[in-house]
Structure 1
Amino acid sequence: MSTTARTAPPSAAPTGRGGPAQSVTDSLVIAKRNLIRLVRIPEAVIFALIQPIMFVVLFSYVFGGSITIPGSGTSAQDYREFLMSGIFAQTVTFATASSGAGIAEDMHKGLVDRFRSLPMTRGAVLTGRTLADLVQTALTLVVLAAVAAVVGWRAHDGLLDALAGFGLLMLLGYAFTWIGALIGLSVRTPEAATSGGLVWLFPLTFISVAFVPSQNMPAFLQHLAEWNPFSATVVAGRDLFGNLPPGYPVPDAWPMQHPVWASLIWSVVIIAVFRTLAVRKYRRAAS
């Protein structure tokens, strides 16, 4: 008597229901997981706060009074108000490095393989991570704003405009975390992700109008600074916070003439481009 051997088909990883609702739910679960991890490692939050606070104090008291602001002169108080939007923007963009390092660490530890066995949408892993980074960015901005108020910074155009300014800053920070996500997926170690996330940020932030007016730069650097997406958010923040001196000359470049719109456009474009690239890279790595 013969028996017919049957070979069971290989089991595939379970898949989620799909659709926007499933993606949102999965993203929130991943974000919660990363926030819980953050609470359990408070030193990571503390060290993330130390650097921007040092920048506020050093730039306010070391450079304040020595840099000429068009329309204001070398007033230390005016420079502090001119400076703070740049410090805020630098802080939210520097979160790129930690975002990339966190994703690289998850990849290195094999966490991607664990998520593959769960019925969840693939892009939710990255979206949840970037949402958790956005919460940490918001916390950092709150603390930084308090420190800025201590050294003399004020928002002069009302609460709604100030909230709009911080909203643009957080949108820029969220956009840059997607750049960090792509970097984290493209390197082999968290250390490489940290280095790769910072090496391009320094020229981006310093060839801008964050710390000095573009009028003080050589002509070729002026154009780079004025069309820099980082500069657009910095100027939008100054405009909404009421931190531009009354006689400050606005450059002729379109992003400097319309900084709020320029900031929104740059941030949305960066999110659209780098989220697409990062999710595609993640799916390729997880397949």
Structure 2
Amino acid sequence: MSAIVQTGLLAARAGRGTLRIPVFAVMNLVQPLLWLLLFGQLFTRVVEIPGFSSGGGSYLEFITPGVVMMTAMFGAAWAGTGFVEDAERGVLDRELASPASRGAMQVASLAWFSVVSVVQALFVLGVAWLCGARFDGGLTGVLVMLVAVVLLTCVFAALSNAVALLTRQQQALIGVSQLLTIPLMFLSSAVMDTQLSASWVETAAKYNPFDWAVVAGREALSGATDWGVVWGRLGLLAALVVVMTWLATGAFRAYQRSS
């Protein structure tokens, strides 16, 4: 059986596990809606602050790419839950003893969470459009933003999977997820222009993979896209995906040694 077929079958298994509990699927759509509407209403007049780089658009248009990426990052941070549950039930040990490759097991998880993130992103964009947001980047901008969504999802899903395999504990996974995602969100331009923040926040955002995705998505959706910035950020994310996937796949060996 080829690695592609293995990946497809394992991704389908992950999808069935998610869809068997519809409440999680519903929450995955409700949560970004709350982010979008609450933040969008609370900070409507922020664009009136001198120096705010909204490009002349509304705050809703500014925050939409941020909410899309926040949803992708927070959702991907829970990817390791599947490995923790499989380890507790003994399923993971049987999979590791099967002909399935470690790479296929890892990529299947990333693929499924990428699908979920893309659906959420389209949902957020649809709600934003209904609320009056308009994006001059058109279909090309949306497609490029979805590429950023997939890359960001893979980075954090791989990280989550690595933590799950190394710790085998749901509590540790939750702790690490909270420790990383919340600071990364606020050290970015997701909800506020970093030019209006302290200088150290603006500096930190330059090295923040979450902000790379936000900037790439926002630039792609804008009418005056700086494609050099977009491709630069996407390139950094792609390189990080390769590194994180390699590390997460290697975590299977650590898991087996500690069994």
* Distance apart, 1:128 and its partner CA: 1.1
Partners of 1:26 and 1:90 in 2: how far apart?
30
Partners of 1:169 and 1:276 in 2: how far apart?
20
Name the counterpart of 2:233: 263
State the Cα deviation string for residues 42-77 of structure 1 (Å, max 9, x = none): 11111122221111011111111145263678x8x6
TM-score scaled to structure 2, two decimals? Answer: 0.89
2:145–2:216 Cα contact (<8 Å) kept: yes
Please tell me whether residue 240 in structure 1 is matched to residue 220 in structure 2. yes
* Distance apart, 1:192 and its partner CA: 2.6
Partners of 2:142 and 2:149 in 1: how far apart?
11
> What is the identity, as a one-letter code, of the residue corresponding to 2:179?
V
2:11–2:112 Cα contact (<8 Å) kept: yes
* Distance apart, 1:268 and its partner CA: 1.6
Structure 1 residues 222 and 210: alpha-carbon distance in aligned structure 2, compared to 1, 3 A threshold: same
Question: Rg: which structure is higher?
Answer: 1
1:96 maps to which of 72, 76, 88: 76
TM-score scaled to structure 1, two decimals? Answer: 0.81
State the Cα deviation string for residues 77-118 of structure 1 (Å, max 9, x = none): 611111111111111111222202222222222211111332
Q: Out of 226-235 and 202-211, give the one that drifted further.
A: 226-235
State the Cα deviation string for residues 123-152 of structure 1 (Å, max 9, x = none): 222211121111111121122111111222
Name the counterpart of 1:9: none
2:67–2:190 Cα contact (<8 Å) kept: yes
Tell me how large the CA RMSD over aligned residues is.
2.4
Structure 1 residues 131 and 71: alpha-carbon distance in aligned structure 2, compared to 1, 3 A threshold: closer
Please tell me whether residue 217 in structure 1 is matched to residue 197 in structure 2. yes
Structure 1 residues 147 and 69: alpha-carbon distance in aligned structure 2, compared to 1, 3 A threshold: farther
SS in 2 for 1:156: coil
SS in 2 for 1:160: helix
* Distance apart, 1:195 and its partner CA: 2.8
1:233–1:263 Cα contact (<8 Å) kept: yes
| Alignment length (residue pairs) | 256
| Unaligned runs of at least 5 residues, structure 2 | none
Identity rate, percent: 26
2:41 maps to which of 61, 70, 90: 61
Name the counterpart of 1:3: none
Instruction: Give the structure with the higher percent helix.
Output: 2
